[in-house]
Amino acid sequence: EAQVTQNPRYLITVTGKKLTVTCSQNMNHEYMSWYRQDPGLGLRQIYYSMNVEVTDKGDVPEGYKVSRKEKRNFPLILESPSPNQTSLYFCASSRLGQGENEQYFGPGTRLTVT
């Protein structure tokens, strides 16, 4: 089954404790990205990647890191989480091509930083 998976689905942590949210897709997609969703602000892009070892900042990259060592995986790293990073996070992937950019979203990770 074609899918995007994220782990964990829920996470409560404390300020400053490093964490990683994993994202994996089995569709051989070139493009992967991370979004955060906050009430009234829609989906804001954090980072994206167009290929292995190629990553770029989105609209709200501060406080986050990513890596793309393999095509299928795109982990999101919070080195020192702060309460303003409490949010719902979605990973997404897609093909790259004219009119082929349907985004497939993971199930979401709800993060609370206290």
Partner 1 sequence: GENVEQHPSTLSVQEGDSAVIKCTYSDSASNYFPWYKQELGKRPQLIIDIRSNVGEKKDQRIAVTLNKTAKHFSLHITETQPEDSAVYFCATSGGSYIPTFGRGTSLIVHP
Q: Considering CB under 8 A, how many residues would be counted as binding partner 1? A: 21
* Residue of 34, 48, 64, 89 interacting with partner 1 (CB under 8 A): 48
Q: Does 54 bind partner 1 (CB under 8 A)?
A: no
* Residue of 102, 111, 113, 114 interacting with partner 1 (CB under 8 A): 102
Q: Does 53 bind partner 1 (CB under 8 A)?
A: no
- Closest to partner 1 by CB, 19 or 43: 43
- The Cα 39–Cα 76 span in angstroms is 21
> What Å distances lie between residue 25 and 13, 16, 92, CA to CA?
26, 29, 9
Tell which residue, 62, 59, 30, 64, has the closest CA to residue 45.
59
